[in-house]
Structure 1
């Protein structure tokens, strides 16, 4: 298990990644940088350690691209124009597309890694606004007061079937296709990226996690655990997933705004 924590006056974050109880290796990756305001969870896939490579390469590439772009971009303050909002989304999408291209090229050069890829859920806090970039079935939740909101939509076969009314929630819980995702970073040379720009409340908290956690989460777990705060909260989330099965790698980031 590894943990990361960085501090800044406006925000503080904690991150933990755990192998779980069934897997021999951890193919998840996390990234936290409070100074930059960037947080990422990636859940890799592919044989011969390719999933681990994909998730690590994705977070590293996205970080490098965003850090460079922000030198000229500046923060988002006050009323946001449509053009500025589009530019913010483009910044995030370009970084994720760059990661997609690099991972795909790596797999082309090494056929043992063919088809490797990763999910990515990235949150960039930039002044009065947040920017989300999302591919796959990792998730970002926002908690304000006693309520929470899932801010990302799973790109998975199960999510699509539920949206189309083809299966029930109960059937989804036991479906053999729960791990089938419909979008990933790197298994093709281009990917459709969901991006969102939204105003950030002063006391908001954000939970980023791989499906190794949210596959076990119940709606009543999220707010009480997040309100515990700090490293205790993220480790409690990991313990919860392991106690309920721990079938996958478990990665959690908690971001608190002051």
Structure 2
């Protein structure tokens, strides 16, 4: 049986009992739902706060996407364990990073990216229904459930492949997903790849790193700092156990917004907001190769993947 077939079988064993819609806002103390004319950058809205429809979603606007992506092995590695998937018709953007030199990390990341894409493709009707009701918080939450289940399905696909073939034992990966429907995005996060939002001159990290360093910061054991050039053990990955805790949140979008999905091979070299803003100000087709050059010029210790998405008025 092919690896691809094994991935598809894993979809069918996904249990709804394993869902965990979660999460806390990425940046505490920031308004979850800014007014439509508020230029400030919003934080992700946890889906457990949306499912009961207690909030007014901003006035909808028709948006379309422009995008570009690039991936590179870097300066010091001999093969690339990053993978990405893009389905512009569905508004799906995925970046995965095989974890830390583990055996067959490139297989884990590839399986995760392709499985997530297949899962979302099968649920195109859910996305179409959400697009028809963009002000309905329950519709937004339904997209969040879809993202959550797609990531869980990918984790099970990796685990099942590793259990069926000892060559792949222990393989695992990160997964960072942005699914854009009408004028909102749902983000799914496991691991230490990231999503950034650029709006005007401002930029914000939307996702939390699932690393030991970040956990220690959250518990007050360390002071927040970028820790550039220093790796930290990952605390959540796809491919281990029956279920993985997935961070899922929703975000209203505006024309002109830029998203950057990237592996840690890029973001460990973004030493300040000016560097990130400089990349986000470029045309997306220039930004992707520029991000690769930036990381390689500063050491290129890891594989590098950069996926830029621009929201344009429809």
| 1:62 and 2:130 are equivalent in the alignment | no
SS at match of 1:184: coil
State the partner residue of 2:194: 139
Closer, same or farther in 2 for the Cα pair 1:52/1:80, shift >3 Å?
Answer: same
Closer, same or farther in 2 for the Cα pair 1:85/1:29, shift >3 Å?
Answer: same
Between the aligned partners of 1:143 and 1:210, the Cα distance in structure 2 is 17
Between the aligned partners of 1:48 and 1:133, the Cα distance in structure 2 is 23
Whether the 8 Å CA contact 1:13–1:32 is kept in 2: the answer is no
Which stretch has the larger CA shift, 42-51 or 237-246?
Answer: 42-51
Alpha-carbon displacement from aligned partner over 1:174-232 (angstroms, at most 9, x marks no partner): 65xx2410000112221000011111112111000000000110221111221111222
| 1:239 and 2:293 are equivalent in the alignment | yes
| 1:196 and 2:265 are equivalent in the alignment | no
Closer, same or farther in 2 for the Cα pair 1:80/1:180, shift >3 Å?
Answer: same
Q: 1:118 aligns with which of 161, 164, 173?
A: 173
State the partner residue of 1:157: 212
1:80: how far off?
A: 2.4
Closer, same or farther in 2 for the Cα pair 1:224/1:137, shift >3 Å?
Answer: same
**Structure 1 segments of 4+ aligned residues over 3 angstroms from their partners:** 46-49, 75-78, 168-175
TM-score (norm 1): 0.90
Which stretch has the larger CA shift, 158-167 or 200-209?
Answer: 158-167
Higher-strand-fraction structure: 1
SS at match of 2:163: helix
SS at match of 1:141: strand
Whether the 8 Å CA contact 1:27–1:49 is kept in 2: the answer is no
Any unmatched runs of 5+ in structure 2? 1-62
State the partner residue of 2:151: 96
Between the aligned partners of 2:188 and 2:102, the Cα distance in structure 1 is 27
State the partner residue of 1:5: none
1:59: how far off?
A: 0.7
TM-score (norm 2): 0.74
Which stretch has the larger CA shift, 224-233 or 152-161?
Answer: 224-233
Q: Which has the larger radius of gyration?
A: 2
Alpha-carbon displacement from aligned partner over 1:41-64 (angstroms, at most 9, x marks no partner): 000137675111110010111101
State the partner residue of 1:166: 221
1:34: how far off?
A: 1.6
Whether the 8 Å CA contact 2:258–2:309 is kept in 1: the answer is yes
Which stretch has the larger CA shift, 129-138 or 163-172?
Answer: 163-172
Alpha-carbon displacement from aligned partner over 1:131-164 (angstroms, at most 9, x marks no partner): 1111000000011100011110000111111222
Whether the 8 Å CA contact 2:69–2:305 is kept in 1: the answer is yes
Tell me the number of residue pairs that the alignment of Structure 1 and Structure 2 aligns.
247
Whether the 8 Å CA contact 2:102–2:171 is kept in 1: the answer is no
State the partner residue of 1:3: none
Between the aligned partners of 1:172 and 1:141, the Cα distance in structure 2 is 18
Whether the 8 Å CA contact 1:136–1:182 is kept in 2: the answer is yes
SS at match of 1:118: coil
Whether the 8 Å CA contact 1:39–1:123 is kept in 2: the answer is yes
State the partner residue of 1:181: 234
SS at match of 1:64: helix
User: Superposed, which structure 2 residues align to 1:35-46 within 5 Å?
Assistant: 35-45=89-99
1:100: how far off?
A: 0.7
Closer, same or farther in 2 for the Cα pair 1:102/1:46, shift >3 Å?
Answer: farther
